[in-house]
Chain A
Amino acid sequence: MASPYENIQPDYRIILDWVSPNASVLDLGCGSGDLLYLLIKEKKVHGHGIEISVEEIYKCVAKGLNVLHGDIENGLADYKDQSFDYVILNQSLQQIMHMDRVLLDALRVGKRVIVGFPNFAYYRSRLQILLSGKTPVNGALPYQWYETPNLHFLSILDFIEYCRKKNVKIEQTAFLGKAKKVHLFPNFLAQSGVFLISGNGLSESYQI
C-alpha cells in the first residue's frame, strides 16, 4: 500500500514503527513539529512538543500541534511520573547541557523514551581525526567546530555503556547509515543510532 509518507527521513520512519497507536507522546526539541505531525496523522497519538525557537513554535502552531515554548532542561519537572507513553529526544540529546539529568527525568515522565543521536565513532569521523588531525565534519556531524550546537560527542557504544551503568533497559535499537539501516558493526558504520529505552527493570547485557 502506498503511503503518502514514503519520503520521510529514516529516523522518523523508525520512530513511527515503534510508537503504538493512540499513545501519548512528548517530543523534546520538536523543531517545526514534522515528527509529531507524522505521529498524529499515522498513529493517532496525542502529542505535545517543547521547543526553544519561537520561529519553530509558529510552524508547530500552524500544524495545529500543542507546543510549549521553552528549553528542555526546565520542561520536564512539572509533569507527573509516567505522564506519557513515550518521551522523544530525537537529535536533541547531544545538545542538552545537563543531559544526564534530563534523560533520567524523561525516563520518569515517560513510560518509554526514544533517543536518537549522531554516532561520534562513525568510521569517517575516525578517519578524519586520524588522517587530517581535524575535528570531523560529515553526514553524522555536519557542523564546523565553531558553529556546532552539539555539546556532547558520544558514540553508540558510549550510550549502551551509559544505559548499562544507569540500569536503563534498552528495548529496541536501530542504526542508520547514509541512506539505510546498518546491521553490522553499527558503532563503526552507523551515522546515527536510535534507541527505545525504559527505566523499569535492570538493563540486560545487550549484544550488538
Chain B
Amino acid sequence: MDIKPAFVQTGHFTFDKLKLENGEEFGPVTIAYETYGKLNPDRSNAILVLHALTGDAHAAGYHEGEKDPGWWDAMIGPGKGFDTNEYFVICSNVFGGCKGSTGPSSINPSSGKPYALDFPVITINDMVNCQKRLIDHFGIEQLLAVVGGSMGGMQVLSWMVNYPKSIRGAIPIATTAKHSPQQIAFNEAGRLSIMADPNWNSGNYYDGKAPDKGLAVARMIGHITYMSDVSMAEKFGRQKKWPSKNEKFTADFEVEGYLRYRGDNFVKRFDANSYLYITKALDHFDGFAGKSVQEAFEQVKAKVMVVAFKSDWLYPAYQSQEIVRACKISGLQTSYCEIKSTYGHDAFLLEIEEESHLIQHFLKKVFYDYEATDGFTI
C-alpha cells in the first residue's frame, strides 16, 4: 500500500500581548504551527514537539510543491515513533524565530518596519509561554507529552518547571539544563561572525544586503559541533573535492565544500538576527530556574524519558545525567537511555529506530498510565 499522504499546511495563531520574562509587555505575537493526526474527544492524546535552534513548525509531512518532508518526518506519522493514528502532534515555530512566528524580522506595527534590534531580549521560557497560549487555544488542558531535542529539550525542561500540571510526560533529548562554557563559546563565535559582517549593520539590513557571509560561517561552526570525529571521517575522509586548481584557499577537501554548501543554503532560510536572539536565549537558559532541583521539580508529576547519545560532544551525556539526577532526587518516574551512535549531536535526528522504540513504549506507558506491560495486554 503506498498511499500518498495529504499535504500539510502551516497555521498561524495570534494573540495581543505577551508578558516577557524580563518584565516587558510585547505584542502582538504570531505563532506558526502545524498539526498531525487527530485530537481525541477528551483531548488527552496531544503531544507537543519542540524544535531545535534552526528548526521550524514543519516537523512532518510534505508542503505542496516541496521535495523534502518536515525535519522530523521519520519520527512523526502513521505507525512511526509518534504514531499519528494514536496521537495528535503539534509543532510550532519558536517565538523569536523567522519561520512564521514573530521575531526580529517581523514588521513592528508601530514603525511599519522590521523590528531588527528593537526586538526585545527573549528567553526559552518566553518561547514556552507562547506555546502554552497555543495549547490553551486548542482547548488542551493537559498534554500527553512534550518532547524535543537540543534547544527543544530545554523547552521540555521549561515546561516541567513552569507548567508541571499541564504535562503527563516529558522527553528531553540530547539536551542540558544549562549551557556549559564550551557551548556558550561556540555560540559566541557564531554571533561574532554575524556581527563582523559589514552587511549586518547593527541589525538593520532588511532593506539591503543581508549578512550572509557571517551567518554562513556561524552555521558552519554549528555544523562542526553537530557532527563527531567519526561521522566526519566516515562521511568525508580526506577526500578531495576536485583536482587541485591553481587558486589558493579554495574548498579543496570534501568537508570544506560540504560546510560551505551548508552555510550558503542556510542563509536562504534563516534570519541572522533570529540567530543572535535565539542563541542568546540558549546561553542564558537555566533549566532549574535558579532554584534547587527539588524546588524546581516540586510540582512535577510527569513521567520522564531522558535520551542522550554516545558520540554527542556538544550536549554530552553527563548533561543529560544531571537532568536524570534531578528526576531521581525528586522521585519522578524516570527512564534514561544513552543510545549508541557515531553521529554526534545530529544523532537525535538520525537514530530513528532506537528513538522510535523508546518513545513508542514510553508514550503508551504515559497514555494508559501503567507500571508495566507484556506488550499484549493493551
Interface residues of chain A, those whose CB is within 8 Å of chain B, are 33, 36-37, 40-41, 44-48, 54, 57-58, 60-70, 78-80, 83
Q: Closest A residue to B357 by CB, please name it.
A: A58
Bound form: Cα–Cα A121–B45 in Å: 56
In the complex, the answer to whether B336 meets A64 with C-beta atoms within 8 Å is no
B196 CB to closest chain A CB (Å) equals 42
Distance in angstroms between the alpha carbons of A63 and B357 in the assembled complex: 11
Q: With CB as the reference atom, state the residue of chain B lying closest to A55.
A: B340
Given A61-B357, A61-B362; A54-B340 close (CB under 8 Å): yes
A-B pairs with the 3 shortest C-beta distances?
A: A40-B372, A64-B373, A78-B328
Which stretch, B53-61, B129-137, B212-220, B363-371, touches the partner chain A?
Answer: B363-371
Min CB gap B340→A, angstroms: 6
Known: A54-B340, A69-B336. Contact between A63 and B324, CB under 8 A?
A: no
Q: Is B231 an interface residue (CB 8 A)?
A: no
CB within 8 Å for A68 and B324 given contacts A37-B372, A63-B373, A63-B374: yes
Please give, as numbers and ranges, the residues of chain A lying within 8 Å of B371 by CB-CB distance: 40, 44-47, 64-65
Within 8 A of A (CB), among B176-193: none
Given contacts A54-B337, A64-B361, A67-B335, whether A37 and B329 have CB atoms under 8 Å apart is: no
Complex: how many Å from CA A62 to CA B361? 6
Determine the distance from Cα of A135 to Cα of B362 in the docked complex, in whole angstroms. Answer: 44
Among A41, A47, A69, A79, point to the contact of B338 (Cβ < 8 A).
A69
Q: Which of A36, A44, A48, A80 contacts B329 (CB 8 A)?
A: A80
Q: How many residues on the B side are at the interface (Cβ–Cβ under 8 A)?
A: 28
Given known A-B contacts A54-B340, A58-B354, A63-B372, A68 and B361 have beta carbons under 8 A apart: no
Please determine whether A64 and B370 come into contact, CB atoms closer than 8 angstroms: yes
What are 17 A-to-B residue pairs whose CB atoms are below 8 Å?
Answer: A41-B372, A47-B372, A54-B338, A54-B339, A57-B335, A58-B358, A61-B361, A63-B375, A64-B361, A64-B364, A66-B303, A68-B328, A68-B335, A68-B336, A69-B336, A78-B329, A83-B331
- Listed in ascending order, the chain B residues whose CB lies under 8 Å from chain A are 303, 321, 324-325, 328-329, 331, 333-340, 354, 357-358, 361-362, 364-365, 370-375
Beyond A54-B338, A67-B335, A68-B335, whether A62 also contacts B328 by CB under 8 A is no
Report Cα–Cα, A37/B373, bound state, in Å.
Answer: 8
| Cβ of B55 to closest chain A Cβ, rounded Å | 26
Of chain B, the residue at the smallest CB distance from A50 is: B336
Chain B hits for A79, CB < 8 A: 328-329
Shortest Cβ gap from A67 to chain B (Å): 5
Residues of B within 8 A of A80 (CB): 329
A48 to B327, CA, bound (A): 12
In whole angstroms, what is the CA distance A36 to B371 when docked? 10
Closest A residue to B365 by beta carbon equals: A64
State the CA gap A1–B337 with chains docked (Å).
39
- CB closest chain-B residue, reference A24: B331
Q: Which residue of A lies closest to B354 (CB)?
A: A58
**B328 — which chain A residues lie within 8 A by C-beta?**
68, 78-79
Total inter-chain residue pairs, C-beta < 8 Å: 73
Q: Is the CB of A61 within 8 A of B336?
A: no
Known: A58-B354, A67-B337. 13 other contacts (CB 8 A): A37-B374, A48-B333, A57-B335, A58-B358, A61-B361, A61-B362, A62-B361, A65-B335, A65-B371, A66-B334, A69-B337, A70-B321, A79-B328
- Complex CA gap A78/B297 in Å reads 15
A58–B375 Cα gap in the complex (Å)?
A: 13
CB distance from B60 to the nearest CB of A (A): 23
| C-alpha gap A64/B335 in the complex (Å) | 10
Report the separation of the CA atoms of residues A33 and B374 in the bound assembly, to the nearest whole angstrom: 11
Known contacts A37-B374, A40-B371, A61-B357; decide if A68 and B334 are in contact (CB<8 Å).
Answer: yes
A177 nearest CB across to chain B (Å) = 30
A36-B331 in contact (CB<8A):
no
Q: A80's closest neighbor in chain B, by CB?
A: B329
Question: In the complex the two chains form, what is the Cα distance from A37 to B374 in whole Å?
Answer: 8
What residues on B are CB-neighbors of A47 within 8 Å?
371-372
Chain A residues within 8 Å of B324, by CB: 68
Most chain A CB inside 10 Å of its own CB: which residue of B338, B361, B372: B372
Q: How far is the CA of A36 from the CA of B292 in the complex (A)?
A: 31
B152 to chain A, nearest CB (A): 21
Given contacts A37-B374, A46-B371, A78-B329, contact A62 B357 (CB under 8 A): yes
Query: Which residues of B sit under 8 angstroms from A68, Cβ to Cβ?
Result: 324, 328, 334-336
A97 to B371, CA, bound (A): 31
Residues of chain A within 8 A of B337, CB atoms compared: 54, 57-58, 61, 67, 69
Taking CB atoms, residues of chain B closer than 8 Å to A37 are: 372, 374
In the complex formed, the residue of B with least CB distance to A36 is: B372
* Complex: A33 Cα to B340 Cα, angstroms: 20
Q: Count chain B CB atoms within 10 A of each CB in A44, A46, A58 and give the residue with the most.
A: A58
Of B364, B370, B373, most buried by chain A (CB within 10 Å of CB) is: B373
The CA-CA distance from A80 to B358 in the complex, in Å, is 28
* Residues of chain A contacted by B365 (CB below 8 angstroms): 64
Report B342 CB to chain A, min CB distance, Å.
14
Distance, CA A99 to CA B25, complexed state (A)? 57
